Structure 1
Amino acid sequence: MTIAEVSKKYGLSADTLRYYERVGLIPEVKRNKSGIRDYTEEDCRWIEFIKCMRSAGLPIETLIEYVRLVQQGDETIDARKELLIEQRKQLIEKMEDMKKTIERLDYKIEIYDQAVVKKENGLKRTYD
């Protein structure tokens, strides 16, 4: 696949794909005889993985390290697993923080809903 096709398929700009390759987020993409990037299914799996991890908020540096470990071979399996476990733990903590924030927002919205009802009934508004 060309960079334009991959860009369209994954909703990433060609510049982003080049950047991912340049910094080591995805392994180097082979090129055809004309020097044009020729993405394989394996390359696309890497792009899907990186896109998923980035959308969840994993740092670029962590993902670069993960790719580097994968490229070193099976002797890094334990290190890779540990890296993923740590990232999972951090994501769970972020989810808990977000859950608390949502609960706080729900509470504040309810306060304003009550204020609207009081206003509609001609009662004095109070805010938290």
Structure 2
Amino acid sequence: MTIAEVSERFDISQDTLRYYERIGLLPRVNRNKSKIRDYTEEDCKWVDFIKCMRQSAGLPIEALIEYVTLFQEGDETAVARKELLIEQRNVLAKKYEEMGKTLERLNNKIDRYEQTIAKKEKGLKKS
């Protein structure tokens, strides 16, 4: 699969894919005889994993690079990889909790706002 096809499939720019590979976030992609990147399904699984962890979960690039590096070192790093994911989950859970509190405050503010507007509108006469 070409970089253009992977870019379209995952809605990630080609520059971002090159960047991910350059910084070691995406394991090195093989190239064909013409030196053009040739993504395999395994490479695509990595792109999907990175997109999920980066864009959906908000994991920092540094944590993902560390995870990929540990993965490439082999099975003996499985515990370290799991600990890294647990640590990142804890960070995400804290953000989730904080966002929940913020959402609750906004909902309360909207409720009070609507109650205030409704009271004022009741005092208005229809023309």
Please classify the TM superposition score into its range, dividing by the shorter chain length: over 0.9
Q: How far apart are 1:5 and its partner, in Å?
A: 0.2
Superposed CA offset, 1:55-84 (max 9, x none): 211000000000000000011111101001
Q: How far apart are 1:39 and its partner, in Å?
A: 0.3
Structure 1 ranges of 4+ moved more than 2 A: none
Amino acid at match of 2:109: K
- 5+ unaligned residues in a row in structure 2: which ranges? none
TM-score, with length taken from structure 2: 0.94
- 5+ unaligned residues in a row in structure 1: which ranges? 124-128
Take 2:37 and 2:61, find their aligned partners in 1: how far apart are those partners? 22
Matched positions, count: 123
Residue 102 of structure 2 corresponds to residue 111 of structure 1: no
Take 2:76 and 2:119, find their aligned partners in 1: how far apart are those partners? 67
Q: How far apart are 1:96 and its partner, in Å?
A: 0.6
RMSD: 0.9
Q: How far apart are 1:115 and its partner, in Å?
A: 1.4
Superposed CA offset, 1:25-57 (max 9, x none): 110000000000000000000000000011211
Q: How far apart are 1:22 and its partner, in Å?
A: 0.3
Residue 120 of structure 2 corresponds to residue 82 of structure 1: no
Take 1:14 and 1:27, find their aligned partners in 2: how far apart are those partners? 15
Work out the percentage of aligned pairs sharing the same amino acid. Answer: 69
TM-score, with length taken from structure 1: 0.94
